[in-house]
Structures are given as C-alpha cells and as structure tokens.
Structure 1
Amino acid sequence: MIREVAEVARVEDAALTRAAQAGEIAALGLLLERHRAGMRAVALSILGPGADADDVMQDAALTALRRIGDVRDPGAVGAWLRMIVRNASRSLLRNAVATRPVDDLQLPSTAAGPEQWLEQNAMRDWVWEALEELSPVLRMPVVLRHFTTGVTAYEQIARACGVPVGTVRSRLSQGRAKLAAALAATADAPHANVEERVRASRIEARETLDAAESGHFGKLLTERWSPEVALLRGNDRVGGRDVLVRAMDNDIEDGVRQSLVHAVAGRSLSIWEMDIINPAFDPEHCPPSVAWLMTLDDAGRVHRLRLFHPRPVQVLESLPVVESVM
C-alpha cells in the first residue's frame, strides 16, 4: 500500500513538473506546496528556526522557478527541491556564494553559470519582465543574489550597494515577495527576448574592452554612455566620465587587461563580470576580478556605474583613488 501511494505521488509530481517546464506557473506553485513541509524540514535541520531558514525557503522557490527546466527525472522533483534547500542552507553556513545541483540527481552541468539557466528556461523572459517591475533598490540585490556568479553572498551585496547586511536581508525579502506578485501580474504580458539582450550586452562589453585597449575608451563613453554618467562607490559619487577614462587609461598603460566572464542584461541594469589579468611583473596590481554594476537610463545608456571587486586584495593606502577604481 505504501509503495502504491508513493508511486501515485511520483506520477503526480512528474505531471506537475512537466507542466511547470512548459511554463505553467500554477503547476510550479502546486509542486512547492506539495513539498514545502519536506523542504522546510531540511532547512530547519541545518539552520534551526529563524530568519535564515525563511530566507533559504524563499531562495529555493526562486531557484526552482529559474531551473525547473533542468529536472531530468520529473518524478524525483521532491528530492531535487530538498537538495536545493540543503545546498542553500549549507552555503549560508559557510558563507558560500551559490547553490549547485548534485550529481546523483543527474542534472545537466551548470558550469556556464546562471545565464545558461536563463537561456535554457522557457520562462526566462517572463522572469526578467517581472524583475523590471521591482524598484531599483530592490532589483539590484535580487539580481546580484540570483543571477550573478560572483556577487551573491549577503556581505558582498552589502559592500556593492553600500548598505548594511541587515538592509540586504530586508531588501531581498521584500524583493522576493514583490517579485512573486509581479510574476502573477505579468504572466500574460509580452516579454522581451532576454537571450538577445544578453548577447548584445556581451558584444558591447567586448567592444568596450577593445576600445580601452586601443585608446578609444573616452570616445566610446561619449558616444554610448549617458553624458551624466557617475561612478559610485557604494552610494557615494566618486567621479564622472573623466575619472573613468583616466582610471581605465592608467590600467591599460600599466599592462592590466580584463576578460568578460559573465553578462546579465535587463532593460534597466546590466552587469558585466570580468576576470582581471595583471602583468607578469606586477601580479597583484589589481584584484583578480571586477563586476561592472551598471544602471541604465530610459535610453538604455549607462547612467550609474559601480565597480565592485568580489575578491579584493590589499591595496596600498598611498595609491590615488583613480588608480584603484578599476
């Protein structure tokens, strides 16, 4: 009898999973409700009761939304959901930056990062349409947390946005709640093609780096970025176009190069994650990576830029600001 009940549950899970993979949000909601108790039990067993367990449950729901298309065995979706919670809980404990699927569920590789999840997920355009409904102060933490590869820990998001960790937690909680409402409100709305937008953003990033290396960074900024562009550190303005050009020119002259690793692109913000290649004679000239966090104006031009180093190195206090912003 127990085996028969389990088989019925497996068949029902499989049907709901396939429906969710086809874009039926109601089916995904039913799956989360069916397995909520088991998911929460996993979170509580690792984290104990409290805000962290609640955060992990919210994270797991968004992860399921993004990655339901990855499930190869629809009947085993319950184990997949619990593993998402387990990974997220353990990551929170060790302050890691991202959850990863496990091999024993035979999920496809996510080595290409969150962008691949979006491109494979039939609901990706809908998710991004809903993200655009969030306010800028909520949108940035949610996008960093769930769609970048290297700026996802609470402490990193706090440093990037120039706010306390507690504020990040609060904004993520509000953002996820509002995102759920926005998803329902935009279900039938036309959705832009995110894959095309990301592809265009990648091209723009490479053209920007090429312009810098050829000495035309300033020209490109004049042609493509807002004339009121501001460089921010946290919430503080540290300069404009001249500071950006001077800093980039200094880095190029010193032999520093950047290589695009990952791009996130929406109507109102873009993020370029770069590896930094330092010259052999000065391997610690700059930190090993940098994220360009760009807020766009109504014309799609970069209006505000934050340059965030996920893994900073010790920088000499004597260095002027313009030589360390990149």
Structure 2
Amino acid sequence: MTPLDRPTDEQLTLRAQSGETGALGLLLARHQASMRAVALSLLGYGPDAEDALQEAALNALRRIGDVRDPVAVGAWLRAIVRNASRMRLRGTRETPGLEGLDRLLLDDQEPNHPERIVDRHAMRDWIWEAVEELPQQLRLVLMLRHFSGIASYREIAAACEVPVGTVRSRLSQARAKMALALTSTAEQAHDDASVVTEGSRQEAEATLRAWESGGLPREISELWPVESEMVGALGRPGEHVHPVPVMRRYLEDGVRQHLRHVVAGRSIAIWEMDVTHDGALHVCPPNFAWLMFRREGRVERLRVVFPQPLAQERR
C-alpha cells in the first residue's frame, strides 16, 4: 500500500488537474532527474538545457489538463522537455516560453485578451500571483511576451527601450523565477525525490574522495560494478570501457572535479561538476555533468556531457 505521505504520480496528476499547484510542483521535483537528462542529452551542458527545463516546467503548468494517462505523467513531462529542447536545436527562439499561452482563444471569434486566456487555466490565480512577485523589469517583459500583442523580441526591446539581448536575458530570468516558484509550492518538499538526491550527493562525494585516495571502498565499488560502461565522448564505439580507469586517468593527469549540484531519481542521477586543471596534461571545460543510468542502485552507463560552445550563438 502506498503511504499517505507519498502519493502516486496518478494521484498527484489528478490533484494538479484540479488546480492544486503544489501537486504539480511535487511532480516536477519527483521527475526532475529524468527531465534534466533529456535536456542534457539533446542540448549538452549549459544555459540552453537550463532554459529548456524552465520552459518545460511552465508548459507543464499550462498543459497539465492535457494528460490523459496520469500514470504515465513522467513520460509526458519528458516529452515536453524533448520538444522544448528540439525547438532550441532548430533555432526557433521566438517561441514564447509558455508555449503560446498568449495564442489560446476561448473560441475562434473571441478576442485574444489576457484575462480570457488565463481564465481558461485551472491555475490562473497561481500564475498571476507568481507574475506579481517578479521584479518590475522582469514582470514587464514577461507580460508583453506572453499576454500582449507586443510579443517579438524586437517589439519588446523597442517598448522597453533596451537592447534585444537585454530582453532575452530578462525573459530568461523571469522564466527561471517562475519555474522556481512553481517547484517551491510543493507542499511535501521532503518527498522521495529529495531523499534520493541527498543519497546520490553522498555517493558523489564519496566517489570523488575515493578516487583521489586511490581506492574505492566497498559501498562505492558496488556502485560501479564491472558491467558499468562509459559511453559518449569518453567511451569507445564497439568497446566496453569502464568509467573508473577513465576518470582515474584524468585525475592522474591533474584534472580535479568539484561537485557543484546533484539531481537524482530512482534510475537516473546527474552530478554536475566544476573543473580545475592547474598544470594538467588535459585542459577540460570549466564544468560538465555526469549523466548516469542505473539499475538496482548500480550504474549501468555513464555519459559525460560537456558544454555546448555554440549554444549562445544559436540565439
């Protein structure tokens, strides 16, 4: 039987569809690892992936009523992230972060007034309350972008008398604050997601300490069984490459990794690293992420995701 303090995905989805914002925040917290994995896989490590995740959180807010199979809401959330990521890969940066919230009509004849649009939304009160919490500059660009006919970057820039780059920056900040406000409404912040993430953080710290000391204690070696495989840029196509010797080689060459952030689910864990390499033989990017796929607690595959150097140029 499911404990009362750990509702199922189906229960949370139904509660979110009835207008309970905290339930949606809890769903996002529970599935954040798999959603982040999708963004990193498609966009690499960097600001584009962060923007895609923020847009996905806000799109989920608008579209939670579209979920027809509440049991499969995790797959639905990943699909939203995938779509947001692909939009960025195609370079369609003019798509609003709330994915066309300003284009929804009550019917084909009625005008596109913000009040009518938001009134359709089960969580309209939360939306306006969250918008009102934004600083004035961020609130202005968000309202123009999503709730007015002045929606293009150039039009907003002219209206606010700022460069287009400033508009993009402010929109990014506004989306981030809105997404953070959404997840912070989760009434049960101590849900299983946070417990799993904290356990993964401890594993990450223990792994880095063990590699620097030259040996893996039993509880960490069990995390990296002989079946573990390094894939992606640091692996070798057609060959089985274990992650431990690869990481040790970079360590011995002078590359040092410092844990910055962890997000984890039951089958996916993401460890984000800052990197220093004073005197190292290899010069690595200043940060990257470990993307790990697990089964029964053990790592099956590790993919190291590096920054996308061209991410900003596509904007």
By the TM > 0.5 criterion, same fold?
no
Alignment TM-score, normalising by the size of structure 1: 0.43
Query: Relative contact order: is structure 1 or structure 2 higher (C-alpha 8 Å, sep ≥ 6)?
Result: 2
